[in-house]
Every structure is written in structure tokens, then in C-alpha cells.
Amino acid sequence: MQSVLYIKSVKKLPKPFIVEEVKSKNLLEITIYYQKPESRTKQFIILKKLYSLGFKKIKNTIGPPDLLHVHNLITPAIWANKYSKKRMIPWILSEHWSGYAPRSGVFRAKMKWEKKLWKWYSEKAAVTIAVSEFLLEALKKNGIGIKHLVIPNVVEGNFIQTKRDDNEIRILNVSDMVDEVKNISGLLLAFSMLVKEFPSTKLYLVGGGEDLENLKNFVQELGIHEHVFFYGRLTNDQVLQLYHEIDFTVINSRVETFSVVAAESLMAGKPVISTRSGGVQEFITKDQGILIPVNNEDKLLDALRTMLTNYANFDSQSLSEYAKEKFSVQSVGIRLTEVYESILHDKEHY
């Protein structure tokens, strides 16, 4: 039986922390919410308590784990490594973070002692899994991990044949509204030129973030407020449903280690326009969409024009089957199970 422990900080809670526990046939899920303190020292003390509580609940409910799988450095790795040493069990690391990428430079800008700490903990993992070859190379260049593998993200969704009665063309972008990374303003600029030629086109923007209000103001400045719709943050199920209501998806990011959005779009049978921003070009070809350079509104506009007249030529069923073969729970689950079994078989080496 497997278990998931997820600890998340929130701004306000009626008490110091809240524990939610869900148990199904083969899975125990424990989610702990806590109110984030201003002091990092206090946060460290709180997390020490909550991780201990989470591990104790898992042990008392289904027994102690034989293997730990951590997603992203650094905080979860600290407690996984501590528990690993105490119980003499291995742990593995999956990395998704775009901060390792050269174009981002966030990891490179960390203080020397921080980078040393991250590297030290990553070396304790039995294996480090990257979600793309692009991220794998970035991890190696930054000295993160020793033994590496590439296994993509699991992606949900399905293909549903839908028909609409209107003549609108609907374009979707799903992202955190952090313009420095996602370049939503560049998309809006290109779209403002597109609607002059194709006035029945609509752009749906899903997500929240620090630049949301600025982007809403920018839409007003461009005079395209009747064509752009901000949905804010949606649940995962709501996003998956929205794919069935649009014609294609656009990703204009400067850095993407994988792009769950692109994979979800394909799973729903919708083609994708994307920048060559990292991991996404490893699974998007001319058969699934159009790739363009980063930071190039002219090329983006050309791609939008091309897709507007060609999106219906993509075989939706084929797009969905292609994505399922690569990113479904079954496909990725088989690969992860092989990793788990291999490590458990040789766990005395870790």
C-alpha cells in the first residue's frame, strides 16, 4: 500500500494546523495545512513537528514505509533524509523546478552555502528523476544528484468528441500569472494583432499570480477586453473540462521543464502552439502543433494565424492516444514501479 504526505502553508487558519486524512483501498493520503509564520526559524520548528506527525500517522495506519519518494528540494528532502537514516530505508528525488535552467538562473543566484546544502541532500537520494531531458542536463550542470533518470509527469484527462454551434475560435492559456516566466504580455500583444484579422477569436486565460491585475490592465490598454477572458484559478477538474471547450492551446513561456498544460491539451485531443522553452519540445512536433522561438511575438503571431486555419486538420483521437502512451497513469506508473522495485531489491546499497 502506498501513502502520500503533503504539507502546505496557508495565510490564515482557525488553529495552528489542520490534518486531513483520506484512505482508499490502496492509498493513504495525509494533508497537513499550517499557518506560515514570519520567521523561517519558527517555520523550521513547525515543519519538524508536522513531518514527524505525518510519518507517525502513516506508520500507525498502514505500517512504516519501505521507500520514500520526495518531490523537489529542499524542505521535504531534509525530513525524508532524516527519516531514511533512522529507518535505514532509501529515498528518491523527483525534480520539476525551472529554477535550475540556465535561462532562469534562480538556483545559480543562490548563496554558496545554500547551493552546497541542496547538492549535499540531493547526493543522499538513491536516484534523482527529472521530468525531461532538458531538466536532466540542468540538474547535472548544477551538481544536483548523482544517479539520474528521466520520467515524465503523470497527466490526467481524456478525449471527448464535442461539437459547438458557434463560429468562435477559442484559444486557451493555463499558467501562473508570473509574466517574467510565462510571458503572458507577449501573448496578449500577438493576440491584439490577431483579432484585427480574426475578430471572432477569443482568448481564455486560466490562473492566478502576482501579475494578474497588471495583465488585466494591459488587456484594457490594448483594447481587447471583449476578446480576452480571465478565469482566475480553477480546480484541476475544471481545467480538464475547459480543454473540451476550446480549439487549441498556446504556451508562450520563457522556461518550461516539462509543461503539464501542453500534455493535458494533447490528452484532450487539442493541438498546441509552444515556445521552445525546455522540456516541451521533447514531445511536441509538427504532428502535435507548432513550435516557435522564445520571446518572439512575430513568430507567435504567424503561428496563431497558421493554427487558426489548420487546427481542425489535427486528428484529435491520435493526439490523445499519443499523450496517453507517454503520460498516462498506467504508462508512467509502470516506469516508476520498475524504479521502486529495483531500489528495494538493492536497498542495502543505498
User: Does residue 349 surpass a pLDDT of 70?
Assistant: no
Confidence grade of residue 124 (pLDDT, cut at 50, 70, 90): very high
Query: What CA–CA distances, in Å, run from 204 to 1, 175, 215, 264, 287?
Result: 40, 11, 13, 16, 24
User: What integer is the mean pLDDT of 267-277?
Assistant: 97
Residue scoring higher pLDDT (335 or 165): 335
User: Does residue 304 surpass a pLDDT of 90?
Assistant: yes
User: What integer is the mean pLDDT of 133-161?
Assistant: 93
* Predicted local confidence at residue 165, as pLDDT: 67
Residues 339 and 323 in one domain: no
Residues 77 and 43 in one domain: yes
3-state SS record for the chain: CEEEEEEEEECCCCCCEEEEEEECCCEEEEEEEEECCCCHHHHHHHHHHHHHHHHHHHHHHHCCCCCEEEECCCHHHHHHHHHHHHHCCCEEEEECCHHHCCCCCCCCCCCHHHHHHHHHHHHHCCCEEECCHHHHHHHHHCCCCCCEEECCCCCCCCCCCCCCCCCCEEEEEECCCCHHHHCHHHHHHHHHHHHHHCCCEEEEEECCCCCHHHHHHHHHHHCCCCCEEEEECCCHHHHHHHHHHCCEEEECCCCECCCHHHHHHHHCCCCEEEECCEHHHHCCCCCCEEEECCCCHHHHHHHHHHHHHHHHHCCHHHHHHHHHHHHCHHHHHHHHHHHHHHHHHCHHHC
Confidence grade of residue 336 (pLDDT, cut at 50, 70, 90): very high
pTM, two decimal places:
0.92
Residues 81 and 202 in one domain: no
Question: In which domain, by residue range, is 29 found?
Answer: 2-154+329-349
* Predicted local confidence at residue 347, as pLDDT: 65
Q: Is residue 52 part of a domain?
A: yes
CATH number at residue 205: 3.40.50.2000
Share of the chain above pLDDT 90, in %: 90
- How many domains does one find in the chain? 2
Q: Name the grid cell of 195.
A: 483579432
Sequence-separated (6 or more) residues with CB below 8 Å from residue 89: 65, 66, 67, 68, 83, 347
Residues 8 and 145 in one domain: yes
Residues 308 and 211 in one domain: yes
Share of the chain above pLDDT 70, in %: 97
Residues 323 and 333 in one domain: no
Q: Is residue 163 part of a domain?
A: no
Q: Is residue 110 part of a domain?
A: yes
Mean pLDDT for all residues in the chain:
94
* Predicted local confidence at residue 126, as pLDDT: 96
Cβ neighbourhood burial of 305 (10 Å; 0-12, 13-18, 19+): middle
User: Does residue 294 surpass a pLDDT of 90?
Assistant: yes
Q: Give per-residue pLDDT as tens, 189-222.
A: 999 999 999 999 999 999 999 999 999 999 999 9
Residues 218 and 108 in one domain: no
Residues 226 and 135 in one domain: no
Long-range contacts (CB closer than 8 Å, 24 or more residues apart) made by 82-89:
83/51, 83/55, 84/124, 89/65, 89/347
Residues 201 and 317 in one domain: yes
Q: Is residue 66 part of a domain?
A: yes
Residue whose cell numbers read 490528452: 267
Report which residue type is found at 279.
G
User: What integer is the mean pLDDT of 335-339?
Assistant: 96
Residues 19 and 49 in one domain: yes
Residues 148 and 217 in one domain: no
Confidence grade of residue 3 (pLDDT, cut at 50, 70, 90): very high
* Predicted local confidence at residue 225, as pLDDT: 96
User: Does residue 350 surpass a pLDDT of 70?
Assistant: no
Q: Are 86 and 68 in contact (CB under 8 A)?
A: no
Cβ neighbourhood burial of 20 (10 Å; 0-12, 13-18, 19+): exposed
Q: Is residue 258 part of a domain?
A: yes
Residues 335 and 311 in one domain: no
Q: Is residue 159 part of a domain?
A: no
